[in-house]
């Protein structure tokens, strides 16, 4: 137990003195070796406990008394796993490929067999939806006021970067040759 011959001799001597002091508790006809070993083991454990460093509670450093709460982290991870499962499959796949596996949007798009813009959009929407759920909102935040105003006025952004107004008169004014 002690891994040191001198300490082992001291331990045996202390255990024998404890056994002699408690000899009235030994029942004749029972296993004397087991009784003695139990006393030896208990004495060993008591000595270890006595040797531990102790200090007054007032002088103890704060980090010795306080530990970070691990249950909050596990609850947050459990909630994240549950919410990931609630995402649409294509959004979840895109998010995992880009954020967990570290793929570029181009690589993720190739794996999902879609356009790069579609992959980016799926990752964005998945992140936005997860953030909303984890912050307690049932729906993700709406578009900005400027984006809503553009959509309301009929202005549409095309893939090439051109914007077109919804009215034909405005189109002719901007492009007289049409």
pLDDT (tens digit per residue) in 135-176: 887 766 555 555 555 545 544 444 444 444 444 444 444 444
Mean pLDDT of 59-87: 80
Q: From CA 167, how far away is CA 87, in angstroms rounded?
A: 38
* Among the ranges given (33-42, 47-56, 113-122), the one the predictor scored with the smallest mean pLDDT: 47-56
Q: How many CB atoms lie within 10 A of CB 134?
A: 12
Q: From CA 46, how far away is CA 24, in angstroms rounded?
A: 21
Q: From CA 40, how far away is CA 21, in angstroms rounded?
A: 13
8 Å CB contact between 97 and 111: yes
What pLDDT was estimated at residue 171? 42
Q: Return all residues near 16 (Cβ < 8 A) that are at least 6 apart.
A: none
Residue 65 has pLDDT above 80, yes or no: no
Mean pLDDT of 106-132: 93
What's the mean per-residue pLDDT of the chain? Answer: 79
Q: How many CB atoms lie within 10 A of CB 130?
A: 20
């Amino acid at each position: 137990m002690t891994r040191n011959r001198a300490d082992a001799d001291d331990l045996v001597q202390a255990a024998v003195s404890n056994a002699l002091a408690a000899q009235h508790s030994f029942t004749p006809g029972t296993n004397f070796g087991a009784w003695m070993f139990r006393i030896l083991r208990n004495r060993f454990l008591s000595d270890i406990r006595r040797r531990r460093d102790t200090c007054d509670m007032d002088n103890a450093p704060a980090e010795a008394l306080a530990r970070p709460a691990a249950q909050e982290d596990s609850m947050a991870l459990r909630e994240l796993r549950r919410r990931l499962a609630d995402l649409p499959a294509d959004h979840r796949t895109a998010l995992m490929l880009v954020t967990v596996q570290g793929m570029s949007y181009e690589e993720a798009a190739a794996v999902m067999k879609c356009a790069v813009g579609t992959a980016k959009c799926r990752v964005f929407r998945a992140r936005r939806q997860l953030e909303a759920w984890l912050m307690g909102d049932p729906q993700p935040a709406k578009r900005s006021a400027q984006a809503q105003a553009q959509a309301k006025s009929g202005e549409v952004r095309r893939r090439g970067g051109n914007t077109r107004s919804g009215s034909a008169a405005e189109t002719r004014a901007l492009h007289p040759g049409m």
